[in-house]
Structure 1
Amino acid sequence: MASSHHLKIDGVSFTYPGTSRRVLTDMTFAVPAGHVTGLIGENGSGKSTLLGLISENLEPDVGFITRPPSTGFIAQETDLAFSSPASDLIDAAVAELRQVEARIGEISIQMAEEPESPQLAEDFDAALAAAEQSGVWELDSRIATVLAGLGLAEVPLTTIISELSGGQRRRFALAALLLRPVDALVLDEPTNHLDDEGVDFLIEELKNFRGPTLVASHDRFFLDKVADSLVDLDPGLGAEGGTGEQTRQGTQFTGSFSDYLDAREGIRRRWEELYAAQEHERIRLEKAAGQDEDDVFNHDLNKTETRAAAKFYADRAAKTLGNRLRSARNRLEALEREELPAPPARLRFHGIPEHTSLTSLGEPAVVAKKLLVNDRLGPLTVTIQPGDHWLVEGPNGAGKSTFLSVIRGSISLDEGLLRIPEELTISRLSQDDEWTNLDIPAEEIFAAHTPKSVPNLVEMGLMDEETAARPLGELSLGQRRRVSLGIILASPPDLLLLDEPTNHLSLALAEELEEALTQFPGTVVMATHDRWIRRRWAIQTNGRGKVLKLSGQESSE
């Protein structure tokens, strides 16, 4: 459907009632017609809140939101009763278009009765134009195309909604949105539950949509292919790259996700350069402000000089000293008032373990022969050498997480052989939150699980001081995952197991984690469906990466 409407967010701020923490601060950006803007940020940064404001489920404290007349939102669940068939959902989505077709039929009957009516002829032309513009004549074909594109072609439309899986309900909701005639689209994590083909289909759909599209997503591949610009809600780089106090939330970057990464890296480099120049100037001013008279005037006067001359030079030196001291101290005070904070540390591993013993002996880190966990994995045969980086991929249910659990020892084998050297240390970053005591502050949890010699969560660039001091129960899933990640970075193992490591992480932090892994000499086994990682695996691992593909049937290296 053609659209000239824009979606505009103008100076919007929001605080949930009964709390003092502002979630959104002076948000301002616009999404033009025919453009796709990605909304990115870690869980807890305000993405869902902003979508709630746009959908009018929430009201901003201040500011304005301009929406096109018909704005479509993808719902987490359908509004239909679970006892309804899936066909009701599709019928409801295309009801408006069916009415256009029905209207043409009604006017045709009236024209047969009043063939000379100019008003009926005008109404008929208008109805035909609306039908052609909205694709009424191809509607049945369009429905079949959308359902097939989202992997729903084999699901009978007579299926009761309660009998659909959560992923199927989510895809039917997305299908209904794509079929509905709307002026704008607002999507929340639309690629969840989509396979690669489904994501490719959605990308083409959004590229062809003529209205504005705002999409909140953690899917880097999807954003790189579909977005014309990105709005980053994470304050990690501060206002204008760390200069000054950030009063406006959200930075808009033009271009794809790859362009965003380049721009963000440029901001960081400028920040690092400005900070280095500031600290150099601080040292110079502190030295100048600490000078005394002996540094400015030499008391070893020539014996031929008179006392009057000595007094003249001493007075002039004192005046010079006073001016220099005042100037240096004033400039030092100004620097400290407008001090640029240190840029956040880049993610890296600390206390890298030695791997020479296993390597020199030629002993593998993991030997698996015909591993079988009934209905979950195998039979699987693979040998993992020290220092190898393995990517484990496959569809949901193929056994990726099960394989990592078998290596960790938390799931027993039904058949097969698994050999891991006893001295090998193993850590796992699980995809689910495993913390049980949520009343303990994040910084205390981190300190209890790490050596005292390593940097804390703030120094590692994983959290600010206020967040680190809050109990785990008050943190988002992404923030809790930062604590788990920090513990692993502080005490890296010989064998690192990563289960969907980028889940719940901000996109910038996910990039930093992957970069840190390239410098990690230990053994890595990573299970992921992340297409961005899979596409770049050979480059990210400097050519030492290997791939293990699981199908849910027999799998091997």
Structure 2
Amino acid sequence: MAVVILDNVGLHYGEQVLLNGVNLTINERDRLCLVGRNGAGKSSLMKLLLGINLPDSGVVRIADGCTLAELPQSLPAADDRNVMDVVLSGKAELGKVLHDYHELSMTASTDQDMKKLEFLQAKIEAEDGWLLQTKADAIIEKLNLPKEKTMAELSGGWRRRVMLGRALLSEPDLLLLDEPTNHLDIPAIEWLEEQLADFPGAVLFVTHDRAFMEKVAKQVIDLDRGNIYRYDGSDYEGLVEWREKRIEDEEKENALFDKRLAEEEKWIRQGIKARRTRNEGRVRALKAMRNERSARVDRQGKADFTMDASDKSGKIVIDARNISYGFENKNIIDDFTTLIQRGDRIGLLGVNGCGKSTLLRLLLDQLQPQSGTIKQGTKLEVAYFDQLRAGLDLEKNVVDNLAEGREFIDTANGSRHILSYLSDFLFSPQRARTPVKALSGGETSRVMLAKLFSKPSNMLVLDEPTNDLDVETLEMLENRLMEYPGTLLVVSHDRSFLDNVVTSLYAFDGDGQISEHVGGYSEWYARGNRLKDEDISIRESAKQAAQAKKEVVEKPKPSKKLSYKIQLELDGLPAEIEVLEQAVESLTAETSDGDFYLKDNDHVTKTLAKLEETQLKLDEKVERWMELEAMKEGDA
């Protein structure tokens, strides 16, 4: 049975053709992965199905009685709603009635309250609402959700689980997932894979995570230049071969067409006598061929970038011995010792918030360990890819961000003009002069990569480099990293990416313990290793610091030598850090939304500037908190 049918649907964004007379049928129990380059129209197609957007032409048909639900790309707000209420909002009107009934039943004391309870009870029974409550309880139990906690008490991964529970309560015939693995660590991704395996309806999802695609999908929908192509399977290597064969056949057809067009153009330009006797039908056919050729959307080239390695570093790159770093009651890194040598390729593996980025900053001398020593080797030239993209000036265009006074870029293949160099990263001369604030998330990532690879280095440090990249660009990045002769440190939750580019892992095992393993993710997993799932409680260090501070107040302590003013500042810092961390998480979620860069430029600029400003404030507060804690311990 068909759930959704797209009949000759067209959609345009300005002059860009997103859908060109598309026909698509989604049947019950389908498991479809929607792939395509950044900006191809994947999120726009989702919005058409949800009725948020309307097609410019054609019809979107939803079968009678069929319902759709979505798990959006952006994270839900960390607010005061409790988990049960959010799940019940999947059936919004009836869920509110149930919420009001339960709230009133705990406080009812007057005749008026009792009458309202009777009214709410009658409404619930008329709509079979008690069954809805039973379903909500069953979903919460199945998903292991903490129903009494508020959304503000949960990390991003757990809030996403709550939103899945909300979607499942509506019992949709089609579940739409837009980049569902965003903001999730590996245990949460594996959990989501298990839930989708048991889902009784159809699923259509967008992802750049190839391991997730292969696990969940049964077919792949390739959205390419406004057209849809369906691949029967989900293995990535087979998908690549199928796509290359299709493109090869298309290029052959285009070559034959262009040859015929050239012959007809030659004929139309013959002498006066030929033009007097020319066949008018043939002239009309030529005009039609010209129109067809002008309407053809030429395929965009692949990203193709090279990395220029500098002189070799010393054999010892980083020597870290017995280093520790943490907050008052949380060990982020506890007595870790490692030796990184030239040519090592190391992946950092762990749940969100475990300390991967902190370890990178320690090794790069951006933070100082609270104990232990870190020594960097000689001749070290580091290129650092920051997941917050802090190295870009949003007001400057792409060229100015990259040039830094240069007109030519020295690469391993010789000197290149900056516009020629940027063409390898799929930037046309016009797009290269666009302010960074107006770029999409994927384009911004490509600017970062272009800047990263424009300078010689012998050590690459990549913190979540795969975010927002389409699969083809991601594959090209992998190929270049495998050819890189220097030392590599990379943080990623992309299992395929780790398999393809690293030769060893630092696994964060919890409580500050870090273990070293030879091989990529699949080898680590095959040996029976697993990451401990994210704790339901708040994992951010600021929350834990705030709780620890509360306990300190409740217990008698010996007097300290800190002044009253400094002690007051120290007592207030955990709460300030908590607010800033929530703000950073909220802003990061907003900027990760696929439609964020399509909004008003002024809004995009202000939001990104606010994110950078808030992150800087957070770093300052954390550093200040640690400084005052050290002062207090020293004066004890």
Aligned to 2:361: 405
Q: Superposition RMSD on alpha carbons, in Å?
A: 3.8
Classify 1:50/1:446 alpha carbon distance in 2 versus 1 (closer, same or farther; 3 Å).
Answer: same
Q: Deviations over 1:268-324 (max 9, x none)?
A: 77799999x99xx9xxxxxxxxxxxxxxxxxxxxxxxxxxxxxxxxxxxxxxxxxxx
Residue in structure 1 matching 2:321, options 369, 372, 390:
369
Classify 1:412/1:45 alpha carbon distance in 2 versus 1 (closer, same or farther; 3 Å).
Answer: farther
Provide the C-alpha distance between the structure 2 equivalents of 1:426 and 1:46, rounded to a whole number of angstroms: 36
Residue in structure 1 matching 2:31, options 21, 25, 36:
36
Aligned to 2:180: 190
Question: Of Structure 1 and Structure 2, which has the larger fraction of its residues in helix?
Answer: 2
Residue in structure 1 matching 2:41, options 33, 46, 49:
46
Q: Does 1:143 align with 2:102?
A: no
Where 1:374 maps in the other structure, the secondary structure is strand
- Matches of residues 93-108 of structure 1 in structure 2 within 5 Å? 93=90
Classify 1:392/1:142 alpha carbon distance in 2 versus 1 (closer, same or farther; 3 Å).
Answer: same
Q: Does 1:167 align with 2:157?
A: yes
Q: Does 1:70 align with 2:67?
A: yes
Aligned to 1:471: 435
Q: Write the letter of the residue equivalent to 1:382.
A: T
**1:424, CA displacement in angstroms?**
1.1
Provide the C-alpha distance between the structure 1 equivalents of 2:250 and 2:375, rounded to a whole number of angstroms: 48
Aligned to 2:196: 206
Classify 1:343/1:73 alpha carbon distance in 2 versus 1 (closer, same or farther; 3 Å).
Answer: closer
Q: Does 1:89 align with 2:86?
A: yes
**1:51, CA displacement in angstroms?**
2.0
**1:382, CA displacement in angstroms?**
0.9
Aligned to 2:508: 550
Residues 84 and 161 of structure 1 are in contact (CA less than 8 Å); yes or no, is this contact kept in structure 2?
yes
Provide the C-alpha distance between the structure 2 equivalents of 1:79 and 1:394, rounded to a whole number of angstroms: 23
Aligned to 2:483: 519
Classify 1:415/1:426 alpha carbon distance in 2 versus 1 (closer, same or farther; 3 Å).
Answer: same
Provide the C-alpha distance between the structure 1 equivalents of 2:466 and 2:28, rounded to a whole number of angstroms: 31
Residue in structure 1 matching 2:240, options 236, 241, 261:
261
Where 1:470 maps in the other structure, the secondary structure is coil
**1:250, CA displacement in angstroms?**
4.5
Aligned to 2:400: 444
Residues 12 and 60 of structure 1 are in contact (CA less than 8 Å); yes or no, is this contact kept in structure 2?
yes
Provide the C-alpha distance between the structure 1 equivalents of 2:219 and 2:480, rounded to a whole number of angstroms: 27
Provide the C-alpha distance between the structure 2 equivalents of 1:470 and 1:220, rounded to a whole number of angstroms: 31
Q: Deviations over 1:148-173 (max 9, x none)?
A: 2xxx3xx2x12234444443332111
**1:370, CA displacement in angstroms?**
1.9
Aligned to 1:533: 497
Residues 382 and 556 of structure 1 are in contact (CA less than 8 Å); yes or no, is this contact kept in structure 2?
no
- Matches of residues 42-441 of structure 1 in structure 2 within 5 Å? 42-68=37-63, 69-75=66-72, 82-93=79-90, 139=135, 142-148=138-144, 152=145, 155=146, 157-233=147-223, 248-258=226-236, 259-266=238-245, 344=301, 347-355=304-312, 358=314, 363-375=315-327, 376-441=332-397
Q: TM-score, normalised by structure 1?
A: 0.67
Provide the C-alpha distance between the structure 2 equivalents of 1:345 and 1:72, rounded to a whole number of angstroms: 34
Provide the C-alpha distance between the structure 1 equivalents of 2:61 and 2:297, rounded to a whole number of angstroms: 36
Question: Which structure 2 residue ranges, 5 or more long, are not aligned?
Answer: 96-127, 260-289, 517-636
Sequence identity percentage: 28
Classify 1:354/1:81 alpha carbon distance in 2 versus 1 (closer, same or farther; 3 Å).
Answer: closer
Classify 1:351/1:274 alpha carbon distance in 2 versus 1 (closer, same or farther; 3 Å).
Answer: farther
Residues 392 and 525 of structure 1 are in contact (CA less than 8 Å); yes or no, is this contact kept in structure 2?
yes
Q: Deviations over 1:382-441 (max 9, x none)?
A: 111101111111111221111222233322332221111242100111111225532322
**1:471, CA displacement in angstroms?**
1.7
Classify 1:193/1:425 alpha carbon distance in 2 versus 1 (closer, same or farther; 3 Å).
Answer: closer
**1:554, CA displacement in angstroms?**
2.9
Aligned to 1:286: none
Please, which moves more after superposition, 190-199 or 71-80?
A: 71-80
Residues 302 and 472 of structure 2 are in contact (CA less than 8 Å); yes or no, is this contact kept in structure 1?
no
Classify 1:427/1:472 alpha carbon distance in 2 versus 1 (closer, same or farther; 3 Å).
Answer: same
Classify 1:347/1:384 alpha carbon distance in 2 versus 1 (closer, same or farther; 3 Å).
Answer: farther
**1:194, CA displacement in angstroms?**
4.2
Residues 319 and 340 of structure 2 are in contact (CA less than 8 Å); yes or no, is this contact kept in structure 1?
yes
Q: Write the letter of the residue equivalent to 1:218.
A: H
Provide the C-alpha distance between the structure 2 equivalents of 1:270 and 1:491, rounded to a whole number of angstroms: 39
Aligned to 2:525: none
Classify 1:447/1:168 alpha carbon distance in 2 versus 1 (closer, same or farther; 3 Å).
Answer: same
Provide the C-alpha distance between the structure 2 equivalents of 1:15 and 1:272, rounded to a whole number of angstroms: 24
